[in-house]
Chain A
Amino acid sequence: MKIISDLLITALYVVFVQNLVMCSGLGMSEAIRIAKRPGTFLKFAAMISGFSVVTSVICSLIGIYTHSAESYAVKAMIYGGVLTAVYAVTALIVHLITRDKELLGNLGISALNTLVFAVPYINNNAAYSLQNSIGLGLGAGAAFVLAAALIGSGSRALEKNRHIPPAFRGTPAMFLYVALISLGFTGFTGTALF
């Protein structure tokens, strides 16, 4: 029971309290791009969660058996190598089974982004257990979708708003809108803003 509660608490924390996209900026470019495609949210959530969980679990196991290198450069090589290997194996399986180029393209976006790459670092820095690592991985996908949904709905509302000054229409208004959401999430973490 404790394992499940640890897993859920970690997942909920990174989705609703310290949203990895909004509070840390991880995977923000991809979230903004995916926000235009609400029909793909669940697909991306599943893929990002899958890659995050597998990568973070493998990296945690490597960390246990190698007693984790102190150098951040070595850590980066290990985490990047594991992520590339996980992506390559998944892409190879998809290629052999379906040969679906659209799915292969989506796999690239889901696996090779800063959000998935940062998950092993967060595990390492927070000294997370295996269940926390899995929770973090699952939460990463959900956090991404929550961020994309918020950005998408806001962007559509901003596009319809004719009162925005011409210079702020489009990307500038979207940046300011995302800043407000980010500020809201940062407030949940208890950090002093002013």
Chain B
Amino acid sequence: MDKNYSLSSMMRTGAFRFNPVLVQCVALCPVVAATQNLKDAFFIALAVFAHILVSSFAASLMLRKVSRPVRVAVYLILGLLLICPVLWLIEFKTLINLSFTMRVFLPLVAINSATAVHCETFAVKNDVRTAVYDALAAGTGIGIVMIICGALREIIGSGSILGRTLNFKFTLPAMAMPAGCLVLLGFGAAALQAFTAKRTAEKPARKETSAQPEEIELEVDGDFEPEQVDLDLTIENDDEYAYLLSSVNELIDSFTNKDEEGDEE
């Protein structure tokens, strides 16, 4: 089948329009807890990017026939095998002085929800190229948010950037705390939402031709079991990718949520 999408279009959709942090609410722990300054944010973003890329590649190439409970453990092991040797090298073989936060939170990247979500939703259901493109888009989206948050938190919270004092008359220490980062994420998500709404309004024709659920066959019901049902989650064009990203939360909920209807009843 012809795959009617490109890296640039998937990047626009996956990294910006449906940003993993600002829209899908994944990878919040590393963003909120570990991006107190620009240097830490850069290292954490690099670790997340590498982890999601390697895990998606492995998931698409080797883990398709493995059951989900095993796959999610494999993502953690892959992350640890990727991050721990690097952390060990940094600790003992280089002069880079990692902060205490970094020493603790860098390994925690190995277990972040963005990797599990993107591997389970895209990588294991698509070919290697699609999985890698999606991982690049998601990793870039998360990395950009982390670096922006890290820079702003360091400037506003500590009155410095990359350790250099900026001589501000006052600083706001709360910005260096999780609450400060959540405020930034709130305004960032609002800006993205407003921008997307404006772009959509400017291009009504494009919106009309965007993918519709019934065309893509992504109907998910309470009994959704990807291992038993051959649900078509493969992506063939940009619109399908955008639609799938917009449905990520519902899809992930449906992975484990069979009793919601029962609760409501």
Contact = CB atoms under 8 A, between A and B. Distances in A.
Interface of A: 22-30, 32-33, 36-40, 71-77, 79-81, 83-84, 87-88, 91, 95, 101-102, 104-109, 112-114, 117-118, 121, 125, 165-176, 178-180, 182-183, 186, 191-194
B27 interface: yes
Contacts of B257: 37, 40, 102
A108 to B, nearest CB: 4
Nearest to A102: B258
A37 B263 contact: yes
11 contacts: A29-B25, A33-B249, A71-B92, A80-B80, A106-B256, A121-B104, A165-B190, A168-B193, A176-B183, A179-B179, A186-B174
Interface in B1-45: 22-23, 25-33
A175 B182 contact: yes
B26 A176 contact: no
Given A72-B91, A101-B227, A114-B111, A171 B76 contact: no
B12 to A, nearest CB: 19
- State the main secondary structure of chain A at its contact with B: helix
Given A114-B29, A179-B183, A80 B76 contact: yes
B177 interface: yes
Contacts of A22: 178
A180 B87 CA distance: 34
Nearest to A181: B179
Nearest to B260: A37
Nearest to A167: B194
Interface of B: 22-23, 25-33, 68-69, 72-73, 75-77, 80, 83-85, 87-88, 91-92, 103-104, 106-108, 110-113, 116, 172-174, 177-183, 185-187, 189-191, 193-194, 197, 225, 227, 249, 252-253, 255-260, 262-263
CB-CB nearest 7 A-B residue pairs: A39-B263, A76-B107, A25-B32, A179-B182, A105-B256, A175-B186, A73-B88
Given A114-B111, A118-B108, A167 B76 contact: no
Contacts of B112: 29, 114
A112 B178 contact: no
Given A117-B107, A166-B197, A167-B193, 8 more contacts: A29-B112, A76-B80, A84-B77, A112-B75, A114-B108, A173-B186, A179-B183, A186-B177
Q: Which of B30, B32, B76, B178 has the most CB of A within 10 A?
A: B178
B256 A102 contact: yes
A22 B29 CA distance: 10
A167 B190 contact: yes
Contacts of A32: 25, 28
A170 B193 contact: yes
A192 to B, nearest CB: 6
The interface centre, meaning the residue of B91, B187, B191, B257 with most chain A CB atoms within 10 A of its CB, is B257
B111 A117 contact: yes
Given A91-B69, A113-B113, A171-B189, A76 B173 contact: no
Interface centre among B33, B172, B191 (most CB of A within 10 A): B33
A84 B69 contact: no
B84 A194 contact: no
B83 A76 contact: yes
A71 B263 CA distance: 46
Nearest to B182: A179
B174 A95 contact: no
Contact of B85 (A73, A101, A168, A172): A73
